[in-house]
Amino acid sequence: MHNGVYDCDSVKKMLASGARLIDVRTPAEFAQGALPGAMNIPLQTIPAAAARFRPEDTLLVYCRSGSRSMFAQQYLQRMGFSKVHNIGAYGSMAGCLN
């Protein structure tokens, strides 16, 4: 288990290993800037969008502050996804991955 603090290197390693990057902010927020390769799946659409993924996929979720992505992580875990990581706030990762 991860301790909940994600640094740039750990996120890059997960992405290099095939992790999927999910931005759970609104489409308007996403349009203002997003992490490279991220797909926009707003929090309220997670239940319907979960079919896009396999239970064994590694999913990295983020939002503006880390709060919505925490809810997305919990929801996905309840749906049977065991490799879901809340990488927190867009701003903290933007300088690292852009």
Indicate which CATH number applies to the domain containing 58.
Answer: 3.40.250.10
The rounded distance, in Å, linking the Cα atoms of 63 and 86 is 9
Range of the domain at 39: 8-97
- For 64, the 3-state DSSP assignment is coil
The answer to the question of residue 88 being in a domain is yes
- 3-state percent breakdown (helix, strand, coil) of the chain, nearest 5: 45, 15, 40
Extract the runs of DSSP E, i.e. beta strands, from the chain: 20-23, 39-40, 59-63, 84-89
The answer to the question of residue 2 being in a domain is no
Structural domain total, the chain: 1
pLDDT at residue number 16: 95
Tell me: the pLDDT tens digits for 20-67?
A: 999 999 999 999 999 999 999 999 999 999 999 999 999 999 999 999
Catalytic residue positions? 63
Bridge pairing between strands 84-89 and 20-23: unpaired
